[in-house]
Amino acid sequence: MKKDIELYQADCFDVMNDLIKQDVKVDAIICDPPYLIKQADWDKEFNMPLAINLCYDLLKDNGNLILFQGWSNVLQTKELLDEKFEIQNWIVWDRIKGRGAKKNFVSTREDILWYCKGDKPTFNKIYSNIPKKTGGMGKKNGQECRALTNVWYDISPIVPWSKERNGHPTQKPLQLMERCVTIWTNEGDTVLDFTMGSGTTGEACKNLNRKFIGIEKEEEYFKIAKDRLKEGDGNVGQ
């Protein structure tokens, strides 16, 4: 019997190919792959065409594929995704606090591409963290907060003084990943993150009663994720 959480320290393409050979299928892939902006050695190159092909083989019919991307490479990724998947929406996460720039605009934008392997994706409607400013018709649905749009500016990024900060340079807030898991999966579903970093997606899955498969090549970040998720040696079924 396999675990609810499976962790692998290895090259993601090797593991994904192995999972395909085992006929593993997942309900959703939620992943924050490299943006190729050369912020670290692991961010200098990444075979996105291969990753997308493997995602297609690993996803169940009507499974969701959620990829985070940066503004400088999102269009290239979208073109690749359009060849195999059906686009559902293009979300922008406005991190409010951005990366500084002397000769350009401060970057606060991260793109979230939502695609489906089919035309019947899982979508659980939730509301934003932003209270409504007016009453009347706006509160007839019984909700105190505004509807969630495809521009998310109600979740702050990880900053140096954040309590959950663990040292990963592109760490995503747990609240953000819990939102993604809540919207695009159901309880009991299996989620794959093939570049899991420090394991935030895994923690979100654990908190929300989803199964999780996480892959991370860098030993430093794998150890953080492993400790965070309190797993054993990371092997399937052990």
Q: Compute how many other C-beta atoms are within 10 angstroms of the C-beta atom of residue 61.
A: 10
Asked whether the predicted pLDDT for residue 58 surpasses 50, the reply is: yes
Residue 140 has a pLDDT of 66
Asked whether the predicted pLDDT for residue 237 surpasses 60, the reply is: no
Residue scoring higher pLDDT (195 or 135)? 195
Asked whether the predicted pLDDT for residue 1 surpasses 70, the reply is: no
In whole angstroms, give the CA distance from residue 12 to residue 20: 12
Residue 235 has a pLDDT of 42
In whole angstroms, give the CA distance from residue 124 to residue 237: 30
Residue 186 has a pLDDT of 98
Of 21-25, 144-148, 164-168, give the lowest mean pLDDT range.
Answer: 164-168
pLDDT tens string 59-113: 999 999 999 999 889 999 999 999 999 999 999 999 887 766 788 888 889 999 9
Mean predicted confidence (pLDDT) in 212-226:
95
Confidence of residue 234 (pLDDT cuts 50, 70, 90): very low
What are the distances in angstroms from CA 23 to CA 26, 54, 88, 117? Answer: 10, 12, 26, 17
Residue 39 has a pLDDT of 62
pLDDT tens string 120-144: 999 999 999 999 887 655 566 788 8
pLDDT tens string 148-187: 999 999 999 888 788 888 777 788 999 999 999 999 999 9
Residue 233 has a pLDDT of 42
Residue 38 has a pLDDT of 56
